[in-house]
Structure 1
Amino acid sequence: MNAEERLLTATAEHPFSLIFATISGAHLYGFASPDSDYDLRGCHVLPTANVVGLEPGPWTVQSERRDSDGFELDLVTHDAFKFLGLMLRKNGYVLEQLHSPLIVHTTPEHTELKAVALGCVTRYHSHHYLGFAETQWHLFEKGRPRRIKPVLYVYRVLLTGIHLMRTGEVEANLVRLNETARLSHVADLIARKVAGREGETLDDDVAWHRREYERLRQELESADRSSSLPERPTARAALDELLVRIRMRT
């Protein structure tokens, strides 16, 4: 089977009904290399019997696939109760998964969730991207040798956060983000990663990338301060109504 067939099989074999399943990770971010694994993310719906008992769940389903030809798949889905709850927090991951254009499985509820999600974005999502960028920067800076992948994640999350603060739109693809940012070094890093050259070291460029990291952090902080996004989500009632409708049908 090719990659698409194996992804479809993974969703078909899921133990619960899915609202959606999309591809995240390097494929979504625009810098998948030939050996990149597939990160499949989504939202499932537990049957009523799995919700009302003394031991409800599972709220999260995880599985892995490792084939002899090198294909690797990591699947993680959350039950609608947990997923919608995460949407109301400053969690950029779930919004990126929800809006991923790399759709493996979808439903009318998926479309509805994407529309409602506009009311989940707040200024405080900048904290998510600042925190993730800091974690990835430390991984890059402390690595021996320093590799391309961690620093690409640094640029990806900072540019995603800046774009979100300025537009309210969730955009996780670094290639598209860089069409606005126009950072030639980012384009070069993407090209090297996509070509399978991620093993190349960046040890001689750490100080330069640190300056860029600090500059983009400041840009994100500035975008946060000037953002017109609300401080609190406005979609709680709509998400509650949607969750009740989903549960009543199971």
Structure 2
Amino acid sequence: MREVIIEKLKQIEQQENITILHAVESGSRAWGFESPDSDFDVRFIYVRPKNYYLKLEQTRDVLEFPINDLLDVNGWDLQKALRLLHRSNPSVFEWFKSPVVYRDTAFSHEFIPLMENYFSAKSGIYHYLNMADGNYREYLRGEMVRAKKYFYVLRPLLACRWIFRTNTPPP
């Protein structure tokens, strides 16, 4: 499947006229508790040619591709990723800590050490507590609950615990 994903990323680069700087697995497969029916949640950060950024009109900063049974692929423009990092958005930290990397570039290696300067424990805890609460309401209130759904509540709670103890982004 790795080869299929890497080929899909190359197709996206050609189709959208972008360069992908970093691409990873972001969902349950990255967390180590995928189920047989889990799709691949591929996330990436990209840049467009320089002239694209010189436009005066607002441009779309997200690329989303139709979800099928196997692939869920989307990416953020570098400007969006930087704005979110500036606000300490935990997703940016998660993408760069994913154990499953599909595209790694010099950008990735230069970016990772800079990220730590933007981590906010308060923002991280707020994000993960809201995620746990939302997942609890969505997944754990029914009559029949799949075991995997408990992890959707436990993972963000454990992330909060990590932040409380270390004041760093969770792994």
Question: TM-score by structure 2 length?
Answer: 0.88
Number of residue pairs matched? 165
User: Secondary structure of the residue that 1:22 maps to in structure 2?
Assistant: strand
Q: Which residue of 2 aligns with 1:115?
A: 113
Q: Which residue of 2 aligns with 1:223?
A: none
Q: Which residue of 1 aligns with 2:5?
A: 7
Pairs within 5 Å for 1:217-236: none
Tell me if the contact between 2:86 and 2:118 (Cα under 8 Å) persists in the aligned partners.
Answer: yes
What is the Cα-based RMSD across aligned positions, in Å?
1.6
CA distance in 1, matches of 2:53, 2:142: 44
Shift of 1:33: 1.4
Pairs within 5 Å for 1:86-125: 86-124=84-122, 125=124
Pairs within 5 Å for 1:1-250: 3-14=1-12, 15=16, 16-64=18-66, 66=68, 72-124=70-122, 125-167=124-166, 168-171=168-171
Shift of 1:98: 1.7
**Identity across matched positions, percent:** 27
Tell me if the contact between 1:46 and 1:57 (Cα under 8 Å) persists in the aligned partners.
Answer: no
Question: TM-score by structure 1 length?
Answer: 0.62
Tell me if the contact between 2:42 and 2:74 (Cα under 8 Å) persists in the aligned partners.
Answer: yes
CA distance in 2, matches of 1:65, 1:159: 28
Code of the residue aligned with 1:109 in structure 2: it is F
Tell me if the contact between 1:50 and 1:56 (Cα under 8 Å) persists in the aligned partners.
Answer: no
CA deviation map 1:68-96 (0-9, x unaligned): xx6x1111110110001111224212210
**Gap runs ≥5 in structure 1:** 172-250
Larger Rg computed on CA atoms: 1
CA distance in 2, matches of 1:50, 1:57: 9
